[in-house]
């Protein structure tokens, strides 16, 4: 496969707003035939929401793709809501949506934060998950979070220097706490400035130019949710996700990892690989973090095809 590996743009077959309790309404959209192999797509972040371009990862004739904006993220309401918004809440939502759509089990496809949520969901509801495609592994550990926030993953020190340029000297000891105070604080102007710096740091790490534009409500919600989760170790006990692999090692799984990923470096993926030798390991040499970049997208599309073929004997 050469050139652009992505499928043509497509429109959702249906869009729903599902009430999942605690005042949360989830934006849920489906693409592809209703009688095709179900696939649940989990966006990153936490808090990023799904995008139309992500639909292009899936063959519209082969898969029934369900895309969910998680609590407070994207087009889900209330936007940026932090109450009743934990990893366990999100896991419960996924199985609620599965049951509401009449799906017995599905392949779960998640990258970055979505890979953590996919693993957590499969470990709690293994009977609901018939396969996993995991891209750019993130385990939610304090080690990973500290490395990201303190610039230890950056390909250029300039990205981190730009991130912390507005912080006071004593705040450099804990940049995450400083950004959390600003982004979740009551001063809207300070929150906007901190959100722009925070999101531009991620853009720099994935090779995108900074934006001087004022963050929109969806971007503000993303930053709020990230502060909420990252300052609480993603509501997970230390080592919880790795320990839980024992409950899912029978599930067909592929780990796609960009070996030049500076947002979710290969170390976490290597740990999952060693804890789960039954999973298929797909390292992408020179691959970064972006799921839609040609080398990563190509590997993910092939991985999904392999998992589907292992379940149903489809020809790839």
Residue tagged active-site, from 24, 43, 228, 289:
289
* CB 52, CB 9: distance < 8 Å: yes
The answer to whether 172 and 164 are in contact (CB under 8 A) is: yes
Residue 89 class from Cβ within 10 Å (0-12 exposed, 13-18 middle, 19+ buried)?
middle
CA-based nearest residue to 59, from 305, 312, 257: 305
Question: In 3-state terms, what secondary structure has residue 63?
Answer: strand
Strand pairing report for 106-112 and 63-69: unpaired
For 202, the token pair is 């991620």
Q: What are the DSSP calls for 245-267, one per residue?
A: GGGTTTS-EEEEEETT-SSS-HH
- The answer to whether the beta carbons of residues 65 and 55 sit under 8 Å apart is yes
**Radius of gyration over alpha carbons of the chain, in Å?**
19
Residue 112 is among the residues annotated as catalytic for this protein: yes
Helix H or strand E encompassing 42 = strand 37-42
Q: Please pick, among 112, 128, 141, 262, the residue that the annotation labels catalytic.
A: 112
Instruction: Pull the structure tokens for residue 281.
Output: 């390991």
**Which residue bears the tokens 């796609």?**
256
Segment (H or E) for 31: strand 24-31
Q: Which of 76, 79, 115, 261 is catalytic?
A: 261
Strand-pairing partners, residue 25, are 19, 77
Catalytic site includes residue 261 = yes
CB-based contacts of 96, cutoff 8 Å, min separation 6: 18, 20
Both structure tokens of 166: 């507005």
How many CA atoms lie less than 13 Å away from 58 in the CB half-sphere? 31
The phi, psi pair for 262, rounded to 5°, reads -100, 0
4 is known as an active-site residue: no
- The residues assigned a catalytic role are 112, 261, 289
């Amino acid at each position: 496969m050469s050139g652009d590996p992505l499928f043509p743009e497509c429109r959702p077959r249906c869009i729903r707003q599902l009430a999942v309790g605690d005042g949360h309404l989830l934006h849920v959209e489906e693409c592809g035939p209703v009688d095709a192999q179900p696939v649940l797509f989990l966006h990153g972040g936490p808090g990023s929401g799904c995008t139309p371009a992500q639909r292009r990862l899936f063959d519209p004739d082969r898969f029934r793709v369900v895309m969910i904006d998680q609590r407070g993220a994207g087009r889900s309401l209330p936007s940026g809501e932090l109450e009743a918004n934990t990893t366990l809440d999100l896991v419960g939502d996924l199985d609620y949506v599965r049951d509401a759509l009449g799906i017995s089990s599905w392949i779960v496809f998640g990258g970055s934060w979505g890979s953590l949520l996919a693993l957590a969901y499969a470990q709690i509801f293994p009977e609901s998950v018939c396969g996993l495609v995991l891209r750019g592994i993130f385990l939610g550990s304090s080690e990973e979070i500290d490395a990201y926030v303190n610039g230890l993953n950056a390909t250029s020190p300039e990205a981190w220097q730009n991130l912390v340029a507005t912080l006071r000297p004593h705040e450099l000891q804990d940049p995450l706490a400083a950004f959390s105070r600003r982004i979740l604080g009551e001063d809207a102007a300070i929150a906007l400035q901190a959100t722009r710096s925070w999101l531009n740091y991620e853009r720099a790490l994935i090779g995108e130019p900074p934006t001087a534009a004022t963050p929109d409500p969806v971007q503000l919600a993303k930053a709020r949710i990230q502060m909420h989760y990252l300052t609480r170790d993603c509501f997970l006990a230390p080592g919880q996700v790795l320990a839980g692999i024992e409950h899912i090692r029978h599930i067909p799984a592929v780990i796609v990892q960009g070996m030049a990923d500076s947002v979710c470096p290969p170390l976490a993926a290597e740990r999952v690989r060693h804890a789960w030798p039954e999973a298929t390991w797909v390292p992408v040499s020179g691959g970064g973090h972006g799921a839609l970049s040609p080398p990563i997208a190509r590997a993910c599309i092939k991985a999904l095809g392999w998992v589907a073929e292992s379940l149903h004997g489809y020809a790839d």
